[in-house]
Amino acid sequence: MSTPAWIRPATLKEALTMRRDYNARPLAGATDIYVRHRAATGTLPPLEDRPVLYVGHLPELTSISEDGKGWLRIGAATVYTDILEHPDTPLLLRRAIEELAAPALRNAGTLGGNIGNASPAADAVCALYALHAEVDLAGHAGERRVPIAQLITGPGKTTVGADELITAVSVPMDRPGSFHYYRKAGTRRANALSKIAFCAGGTVLEGRLTGLGVAVGAVGPTIVHSRDLEVRAEGSDLARYRKLQQEESAPGGFLTARYMALISPISDQRSTDAYRRRVTENLLRDLFERTIPTLLSGKAG
């Protein structure tokens, strides 16, 4: 039997079989794949002769549910508009989705697609890093759950197995004390690609910072983040936070300096390395010198 060009499985189980048997390329909204493999008018997109595995219709991949432990599980093929409309979507993710594209793209694009394509500039994926999202994968060997940062290893590179599918993304829901910080410097105000995507979140309750997440997109080959630095700030009250910040006398303190050391921006058709560096530093300082101290001092409005 010849290899089919387009596969539409009836169930997730069938999808996994097809994925393994044909090395099929999973596709839901096509907003990444059909742009990267752009077809001229009246022609087929050059898809390297790998069959397409359409998964946009599978109920297992398109539902959103709470897990009862404060996490929201979002099906990998859920379109952005549905994520935006869900009442429990964390604000940070919501902000990133609102600004990531125009309605037509939000009506087609999915988290699974953005994660699978591993673009270092993907706004929603950047928010997932800051939220410490976990990704569910299904394969013939069974299911596994991986922190987002461990799944993506390089531009366009992930550890998703050749027989696996991304099935869902889980994010912690906002709770009392949750804060989010989202800034995007785009090529324009709407429907824009990011020159820099900057996401941060965490919780400040009774003057203590927990669960800090910071992620910066489009300033390195992958989204920049640091579990170590986040852990260093864990549990800080204002005094301890200030002490941490004083460990380095650089502008913006210890955290700014350490994050600046992690970024490696380049000049490309959208922006320059100098601009990316300066703006990242400005945003880090705004977060670490103003936003977090204000939250910790309980003066937030």
Partner 1 sequence: MKNEIRFSLNGKEETLPGDPRRRLIDVLREDFGLTSIKEGCGEGECGACSILVDGRVIDSCILPAGAVEDRTVETLESIRETERGEKIVQALTRGGGVQCGFCIPGMAVSIESLLRTNPRPDEHAIREGISGNLCRCTGYQQIVEGVAAIEHVEGDNS
Partner 2 sequence: MSHPVEQHPVTKTVERVDAREKARGETRYLADIPFPGRLFARVVRARIVRGEVVARNTPSLPEGYILVTADDIPAGGKNCVRMIEDDWPVFSEGTVRYYGEPLALLVGPDRATLAHLTEQCERAVEFRQQEAALTIEDALLCRGGAIHGTDNVYCDYQVVKGDPDGAMAGAARTIEGEYRTGFQEHVYIEPQSLVGTREEGRVTIYISTQCPFYVRKAVATALGLPQEEVVIIQTPTGGGFGGKEHYPDVLATTVAVALTRIDGPIELILDRMEDLEVTSKRHPSRVRYKAGLDEAGRISAFDVDIAFDGGAYESSSRVVLQRGMFSSNSVYEFPHVRVRGRAVATNSAPSDAFRGFGAPQGLFAAEMFLSRLAREIGVDDLDLRKDYLLQQGSTTMTGGRIHEEVKLPEMLEHVLRVSDYRRKREAYAAAARDNGANGTDGAASAKPLGGIGLALFKHGSAFTGSGEQEIIKARVRIRKRADGRPELLVSNVEIGQGVLTTFCKIVAQVLEIPYTDVVYDDHNTSHVPDSGPTCASRSVAVVGYLLQEAAKKLKGRLHEPGEFEVEQVYKHPEHLRWDAGTLSGDAYPSYSWGVNCIEVAVDPLTWEVDVRGVWTAYELGRAIDEEIVRGQIIGGAIQALGYAGLEKMENPEGRFLQRTMADYCIPTSLDYPGVDYALFDNPYPWGPFGAKGGGEVVFDGIGPAYAAAVQQAIGREVTRLPVTPEYISELVHEK
Using CB under 8 A, list all residues that contact partner 2. Answer: 35, 38, 40-44, 102, 183, 185, 187-193, 195-196, 251-252, 268-272, 274-275, 278-279, 281-283, 285-286, 289-290
45 binds partner 1 (CB under 8 A): yes
Q: List 171's β-bridge partners, or say none.
A: 72
> Which burial class, exposed, middle or buried, applies to 245 when counting CB atoms under 10 A from its CB (0-12, 13-18, 19+)?
buried
**Distance, CA of 12 to CA of 230 (rounded, Å):** 36
The amino acid at 46: P
**Closer residue to partner 2, CB minimum distance, 44 or 162:** 44
3-class DSSP assignment, residue 120: coil
**Distance, CA of 71 to CA of 59 (rounded, Å):** 20
> 237 contacts which partner out of partner 1, partner 2, none, CB within 5 to 8 A by kind?
none
> 52 contacts which partner out of partner 2, partner 1, none, CB within 5 to 8 A by kind?
partner 1
Binding mask 47-76 for partner 1 (x = CB under 8 A): x----x-x-xx-------------------
**Distance, CA of 128 to CA of 106 (rounded, Å):** 17
> 27 contacts which partner out of partner 2, partner 1, none, CB within 5 to 8 A by kind?
partner 1
> 154 contacts which partner out of partner 2, partner 1, none, CB within 5 to 8 A by kind?
none
Non-local CB neighbours of 254 within 8 Å, separated by 6+ positions: 244, 245, 246, 247, 248
> 57 contacts which partner out of partner 2, partner 1, none, CB within 5 to 8 A by kind?
partner 1
Q: Residue 275 corresponds to which tokens in the numbers above?
A: 């601009």
> 86 contacts which partner out of partner 2, partner 1, none, CB within 5 to 8 A by kind?
none
Q: How many CB atoms lie within 10 A of CB 142?
A: 7
Q: Are 174 and 70 in contact (CB under 8 A)?
A: no
The amino acid at 36: R
**Closer residue to partner 1, CB minimum distance, 90 or 109:** 109
Binding mask 177-196 for partner 1 (x = CB under 8 A): -------------xx-----
Q: Within 228-247, which residues bind partner 1 (CB under 8 A)?
A: none
Binding mask 88-117 for partner 1 (x = CB under 8 A): -------------xxxxx-xx---------
Question: H or E segment at 29?
Answer: none
